[in-house]
Amino acid sequence: MRSFDELLVEAVALHGHLCPGQVLGVRMAVAGCQAVGVENPTQSKELLVYVEIDRCATDAIQTVTGCKLGKRTLKYLDYGKLAATFLNTQTRRAVRVLARDDSRDKAPTYAPEVRGKEETQIAAYRVMPDDELFVLTPVFLGVPQEDRPGHPVGRVLCSACGEGVNDRREVWRDGRVLCRACAHGAYYTPLAVREIAEAIPPELERFGQL
């Protein structure tokens, strides 16, 4: 593993700024990799990381581990929690690393000479011991075939929209195969459909789209 300072410089370059999340994310990733016995994460083929938030620290975890969404080695779960699980697929060892909420309150004790909230956290998170920053929990998780890196497992066409769906993300309903957007409703509304709609749901107004 490269030194903390080297990793932090790299994380800041990718993320775009130095923030408490970069320091925490680098430390989370180092702690997680060590806990599951992955020495050189960017060289390893066996590491999978599950992140639970789409905020600053996630970019640092990506930098340190080299895990990426597009390689299917980084998984994103929208839990809104500053936590990540590190899985060594060779040994099956997995550890969830949760950032402790109370580390924020303790930060001033570790950097009493520093002014400013963010600056204090940045300085303190560099030096605080792991157990003051994180809770590490050994966990078990299986990785279904369709979630693993490698070639897609199956591809079908949605019977409603005709679009292709990879890796068993389809939904079967009354004997028909559907994509998740057609089965559960999509996060977007095609403009053509919206413009001809007689009644536009008032709740869309709060998104400032109208």
Residues that bind Zn ion (CB under 5 A): 19, 21, 56, 158, 160-161, 179, 182
Dihedral angle over CA of 24, 25, 26, 32, nearest 10: 100
Give the C-alpha separation, 197 to 206, whole Å. 18
CB of 167 vs Zn ion, minimal distance in Å: 15
Beta carbon nearer to Zn ion, 14 or 135: 14
Beta carbon nearer to Zn ion, 51 or 158: 158
Beta carbon nearer to Zn ion, 67 or 122: 122
Beta carbon nearer to Zn ion, 53 or 158: 158
CB of 89 vs Zn ion, minimal distance in Å: 29
For residue 184, give every residue at least 6 positions away whose Cβ sits within 8 Å of its Cβ, in sequence order, or none.
171
Token pair belonging to 102: 């109370």
CB of 116 vs Zn ion, minimal distance in Å: 15
CB of 205 vs Zn ion, minimal distance in Å: 27
**Could you tell me how many helices (H) and strands (E) the chain has, helices first?**
8, 9
Helix (H, G, I), strand (E, B) or coil at 43: helix
Q: Transcribe 190-201 into DSSP letters.
A: -HHHHHH-SS--
Under 8 Å between Cβ of 60 and 32: no
Length of the chain: 210
CB of 12 vs Zn ion, minimal distance in Å: 9
Beta carbon nearer to Zn ion, 31 or 182: 182
